[in-house]
Amino acid sequence: MAPALTYSLFWRGFTRTGLLATLYGGAACALVLMVFSKAVSGTPSAVFPDADFTLFPMQSTGLISIPFGYLAGWLGSRLDHWRRAADSLENRRLYEESEARLLAAE
């Protein structure tokens, strides 16, 4: 949530695709890390105290998932800009091919 808020307030190039990548990417990263953290297994206060499938050594996932959200938002926005630029170039090429016919009203 923090990456989406700061990007939307301070980055003019932040797109809808970047927003969705930030929200889904950060949430998925936090969920996966939480499942394999000490909060779920391996400690007396965990959800499953007798099982130990801990791969992530911390209880809080924010240290990893928040930077991952920033990275996902940046990458999503950049990919969206590149896709739009490619579409714009293709539209320009198609227009230039048919420009003579359009101007001649054929």
Residue-level pLDDT at 106: 61
Chunked mean pLDDT (size 10), the chain, 106 residues? 87 90 93 85 78 78 90 91 75 75 71
Residue-level pLDDT at 25: 94
d(CA 70, CA 60): 17
Residue-level pLDDT at 70: 94
Cβ atoms 76, 15 nearer than 8 A:
yes
- Whole-model pTM? 0.70
Largest CA distance in the chain: 81
Residue-level pLDDT at 6: 92
